[in-house]
A and B are shown apart, each in its own frame.
Chain A
Amino acid sequence: MIGGNLSKWTMSYFAIAIAWLVLGELLMTIGFGFPAAAAEAPDTLVVVHIVCIGWLSMAMCGALFQFVPVLAAKPLFAEGWQLPALVLLTAGLVALLGGFMVLGGHLPVWLWLLPTAALLLVTGFGLVVTDLAITVWRAHAPMGPAYFVIAGLCSLCATAGFGSAFAWSLAGIGRPDLSVLLKEGVPLHAIAGLGGWLTLTAMGVSYRLLSMFMLAPDVDNRRIRTTFLAGSATIGLVVAGGLLAIAAKTGIDLVLASAGGLGLITLALYGRNVVFLYWRRERAQLELNAKMAAWGFASLAAAVLLATVLAISGRFRAHVEAFAFLIAFGWLSGLVLAKLYKIVAFLTWIETYGPALGRTATPRVQDLVAEGRAAKWFGAYFISVWSGTAALLLDQPSAFRIAAFAMTVATVGIIQQLIRTRRLAEVAGPLRLPSGTHAPHLLYASV
């Protein structure tokens, strides 16, 4: 069979992911972590890992379980691994947050929490990576976007590897070299995670989703490959070069600066491909997901510009948090929320009305959403993210908390729209559940 079956647990991954996002935003609203605490303080690590593992990685895994089989035109290697992976990742994240709370003095000194977290997260991500990588491997002729997924999965392994080393070191177990790695290697962990795993994977998936949803021709495979090579080289340089530099005790600044240049080239190549997709699209009227994804791309461009200006004026280190915030919330979260809005509607439509298609009148995918209402929440989300970035740049912690509160409200607004879609609440009465159809479950697909 070909890879067009519905993934049973993708909705569950999305639901848990977005709940973590709200929790992360609430913590920023009450002033937990940066900027009230230092960027490397345990409280900040709690928020960062809620956002990067709980929200972004969970949402990405859910989307990949559905779309890697489509990219590879092969069924998923092991359908049965999705739920155990979800449980392991959730338990691992809870243990990790507990471990950081220990370091922050909020919990008794349970040093075993961090190594336990590392074990659970590595096992959970290990299941995800193995399942997806074997699925792509089995594809007869992997498409360009699939290469990005593989590079993203390799970066995930590197990120998890660094993270585990840190966890052992913080727990006081392991060799002394680990503490050297902990002292200098945190940027490598962050770049492999945000830049490698999340950004490279988002790039690969966006190529396919944008061309699918905007009716654009696929980007030429050669162009995709060039971008892929530049992106993989960037992350490879950061990980391998960074480790060598730490081992040779030369400091990692030179490696980071060269990787910054390569990363800039990657993003320029990617930007050119994205402009091509929007330019050559055949759908004249853009749907909300494509419009909002464009705001995500604009945030990425703004982050690149910000980093360049800060680097030239020698203030990058002082404002690296504002840059990371814009990457995490403007680019990655913005793009994921925009695509989630379409993916949830599409998967709900095919799950509910697929069996009745051609046999009776059924609604269109667009009948499941109310774009006008959702657009306001998305608008509020992006404006509050940009305001939050400005507040961080200007060192205004109170303004940042107000922006974080606005982000929380906007996210809850978007969640409400997703629930309405899943509940078929926007579909006009007679078309809502024609004979032969069943209302979908909110949190998983009935397959």
Chain B
Amino acid sequence: MRQNYLDLDVRPILRNGGEPFSVIMAALARLEPGQGIRLYATFKPLPLFAVMAEKGFAHAETELEGGEWEVLFTPTGIEAPATDSGAQPTDIWPDPVVRLDNRDLDPPEPMVRILGAAENLKPGETLSALLRREPVFLFPHLEKRGFRWLGGFTADGSTYELTVRAPI
């Protein structure tokens, strides 16, 4: 059977200085069973390979003209084991148990609230937060406490979506 791919061109977002992560994740949620993604990007999206592998996609990349890349993400049928915990059968992140909208808070209040909520998560649970800016000063503290996170700006660049997962 010929593999079916959803075409996703994030080059315009990248050229405008945007962060396409949330668009890619939204596309992932729309996929039909067995469908893959054909992604066009202005650079080789190395960080995405690990994320997609955890979600059960193999990648095959081809360099295009002008340093751009086409990447085929193909579902492998089996989700890769989580990198940091062999006991974990899959590494699909569960739906957030807490959703924070921190867009109207004075900095550094968003960071204070996210860390406060993160400390109350049970092992493996996630929280999501909406922010105005990339919370750069938050990341070292999440890392020190063993949390993992995924984040990116929405296509219009107005909101940063962050998902934080408690250590298992």
Interface residues of A (CB under 8 A from B): 1-6, 70, 73, 140-141, 143, 212-213, 215, 221, 282-283, 346, 349-350, 354-355, 357-359, 362, 365
Point out the residue from B115, B119, B136, B144 that lies within 8 Å of A2, measured CB to CB: B136
B161 to chain A, nearest CB (A): 16
Question: Contacting A4 at CB < 8 Å: which of B17, B106, B132, B138?
Answer: B138
Q: Which residue of B lies closest to A2 (CB)?
A: B139
> Which B residues touch A213, using CB under 8 A?
107
Which B residues touch A4, using CB under 8 A?
135-140
B111, A357: Cβ atoms closer than 8 Å: yes
Total A-B pairs in contact (CB under 8 Å)?
Answer: 57
Report whether B43 and A140 are in contact in the complex, using a CB–CB cutoff of 8 Å.
yes
Known A140-B43, A221-B17: A350·B106 in contact at CB below 8 Å:
no
**Contacts beyond the supplied A4-B138, A358-B117, A362-B112: 16 A-B pairs with Cβ under 8 Å:** A2-B134, A2-B136, A3-B136, A4-B137, A4-B139, A4-B140, A73-B136, A213-B107, A215-B107, A282-B104, A283-B106, A350-B108, A355-B144, A357-B115, A358-B118, A365-B108
Chain A nearest Cβ from B121, distance in angstroms: 11
| Complex CA distance for A350 and B132, rounded to whole angstroms | 19
In the complex, how many angstroms separate the beta carbon of A317 from the nearest chain B beta carbon?
44
Q: Please report the total number of B residues contacting A with Cβ < 8 Å.
A: 27
Bound state CA distance, A69 and B136, in angstroms? 9
Q: A4-B136, A350-B137 are in contact. Are A141 and B17 (CB under 8 A)?
A: yes
Q: Kindly list chain A residues whose C-beta atoms are within 8 Å of the C-beta of B144.
A: 355
**Quick one: closest B residue to A6, CB to CB?**
B140
Q: Which of A221, A358, A365 contacts B115 (CB 8 A)?
A: A358
For A359, the chain B residues whose CB sits under 8 A away are 115, 119
With a cutoff of 8 Å between Cβ atoms, the chain B residues found around residue A5 in the complex are 140
B86 at the interface (CB under 8 A from A): no
Q: Which of A1, A2, A73, A357 contacts B116 (CB 8 A)?
A: A357
| A357, B112: Cβ atoms closer than 8 Å | yes
- With the chains together, A283 CA to B111 CA distance in Å? 17
The 4 closest A-B pairs by CB, nearest first: A358-B115, A4-B136, A358-B116, A358-B119
How far is A312 from B86 in the complex, measured between Cα atoms in Å? 77
Residue of B nearest to A143 (CB): B17
Residues of A within 8 A of B17 (CB): 141, 143, 221
For A349, what are the chain B residues with a Cβ–Cβ distance below 8 Å? Answer: 108
Residues of B within 8 Å of A358, CB to CB, are: 112, 114-119
CB closest residue in chain A, given B137: A4
* Assembled-state Cα–Cα distance A44/B7 (Å): 67
Min CB gap B112→A, angstroms: 5
Q: Which residues of B contact A212 (CB under 8 A)?
A: 107, 133
B141 beta carbon closer than 8 Å to chain A: yes
B78 is an interface residue with CB less than 8 A from chain A = no
> Chain A's nearest CB lies how many Å from the CB of B155?
14
Interface contact A141-B137, CB-CB below 8 Å: no
Nearest residue (CB) in A for B43 is: A140
Question: Is B143 among interface residues, defined by CB-CB distance under 8 A?
Answer: yes
List residues 132-166 of chain B with CB under 8 A from any CB of chain A.
132-141, 143-144
B31 contacts chain A at the CB level, 8 A cutoff: no
Alpha-carbon distance A386/B137, docked complex (angstroms): 37
Identify 29 residue pairs between A and B in the complex whose beta-carbon atoms are under 8 Å apart, listed by A's number: A1-B139, A1-B140, A1-B143, A2-B139, A4-B135, A4-B138, A5-B140, A6-B140, A70-B136, A70-B137, A73-B134, A73-B136, A140-B43, A141-B14, A141-B17, A143-B17, A283-B106, A350-B108, A350-B137, A355-B144, A357-B112, A357-B116, A358-B112, A358-B114, A358-B115, A358-B116, A358-B117, A359-B115, A359-B119
Q: Give every chain B residue within 8 A of A215 (Cβ-Cβ).
A: 106-107, 132
CB proximity of B122 to chain A, nearest CB, Å: 15
Q: Which residue of B lies closest to A212 (CB)?
A: B107
* Residues of chain A with a CB closer than 8 A to B136's CB: 2-4, 70, 73
Q: How far is the CA of A123 from the CA of B141 in the complex (A)?
A: 35
In the complex, A212→B14 CA distance in Å? 23
- Which of B43, B106, B112, B141 has its CB near the most chain A CB atoms (within 10 A)? B106
Q: Give chain B residues whose Cβ lies under 8 Å from the Cβ of A3.
A: 136
| Whole-angstrom CA separation of A221 from B18 in the bound complex | 12
**What distance in Å separates the Cβ of A201 from its nearest Cβ neighbour in chain B?**
20
Name A213's closest neighbour in chain B (CB-CB). B107
Residue of A nearest to B111 (CB): A357
For chain B, residues 1 to 27, give those with C-beta under 8 angstroms from any C-beta of chain A. 14, 17
A357 / chain B contacts, CB cutoff of 8 Å: 111-112, 115-116, 141
State the CA gap A206–B157 with chains docked (Å): 21
Q: How far is the CB of A186 from chain B (nearest CB, A)?
A: 40
Contacts of A140 in B (CB 8 A): 43
Instruction: Please name the residue on chain B nearest to A350 by beta carbon.
Output: B137
B143: nearest chain-A partner, CB-CB: A1
The smallest C-beta distance from B137 to any residue of chain A, in angstroms, reads 4
Minimal beta-carbon separation of B138 from chain A (angstroms)? 7
| B55 → A minimal CB distance (Å) | 22
A221 and B107 alpha carbons, distance in the complex (Å): 22
